[in-house]
């Protein structure tokens, strides 16, 4: 397969399978893999227990760690890898902050975000794995992370709406929204192949492009 992208981002809501898909693509196509480092964030378990108190420090800590990681891992070229695939992009910071912060806190956060955002390389394509909040909740329960036990359907719905708001407000980027509600690319090889062919074989214009598999 001829890969026409240098930098691909796999995005999606909590529990959509971003890391699984990005990892498999990197293995199959010899791509450099960038995975988000979230497990060691000390504010994350606190936020799920008391979001009103810990939302602002949580979002600031993610903003700093994502920027640092992307600066360190995107800038150096890897001549032995075909392209780069990541399971998140910096925009994720604004998407989640818009769902957890309000008023002056979000206004300040947004200013900081856009100052930093302009200094990072942009992906050639954003792939967004879309599924319903109910199925996301089911996936979250299956993986059994204790700090995710309090995630609600309403919270997932807010995150989903924030992603689409970002897409609409930044139309110069190329987005491929793939509805994976009725497929299982982890268990079914044919489903996985349909996703990779949709990403790498078809051409898409800037803006939001949607596909139901």
N residues, the chain = 213
Q: Are the CB atoms for 125 and 11 separated by under 8 Å?
A: no
**83 and 146 Cβ atoms separated by less than 8 Å:** no
CB under 8 Å to 178, separation ≥6 — which residues? 127, 128, 129, 130, 195, 198, 211, 212, 213
- d(CA 149, CA 130) in angstroms, rounded, equals 21
Candidates 40, 50, 78, 87; catalytic one: 87
Burial of 89 per CB tally in 10 Å (0-12, 13-18, 19+): buried
Q: Is 87 a catalytic residue?
A: yes
Q: What angle do CA 167, 125, 188 make, to 5 degrees?
A: 100
> Which residues are paired to 210 by β-bridges?
177
Q: 209, 167 in Cβ contact below 8 A?
A: no
**Rounded-to-integer distance, Cα 160 and Cα 132, Å:** 9
Catalytic site positions:
87
């Amino acid at each position: 397969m001829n890969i026409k992208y240098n930098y691909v981002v796999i995005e999606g809501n909590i529990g959509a399978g971003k890391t699984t898909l990005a990892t498999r693509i990197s293995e199959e196509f010899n791509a450099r893999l960038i995975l988000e480092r979230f497990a060691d964030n000390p504010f994350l378990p606190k936020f799920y227990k008391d979001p009103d108190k810990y939302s602002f420090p949580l979002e600031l800590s993610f903003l700093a760690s994502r920027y640092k990681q992307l600066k360190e891992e995107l800038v150096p070229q890897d001549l032995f890898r075909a392209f780069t695939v990541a399971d998140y992009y910096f925009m994720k910071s604004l998407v989640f902050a818009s769902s957890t912060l309000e008023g002056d806190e979000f206004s300040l956060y947004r200013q900081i975000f856009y100052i930093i955002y302009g200094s990072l390389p942009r992906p050639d394509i954003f792939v967004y794995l879309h599924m319903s909040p109910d199925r996301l909740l089911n996936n979250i329960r299956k993986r059994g992370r204790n700090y995710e036990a309090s995630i609600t359907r309403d919270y997932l719905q807010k995150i989903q709406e924030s992603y689409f708001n970002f897409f609409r407000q930044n139309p110069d980027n190329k987005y491929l929204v793939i509805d994976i509600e009725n497929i299982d690319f982890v268990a079914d090889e044919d489903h996985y192949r349909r996703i990779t062919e949709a990403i790498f074989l078809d051409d898409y214009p800037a803006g939001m492009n949607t596909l139901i598999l």
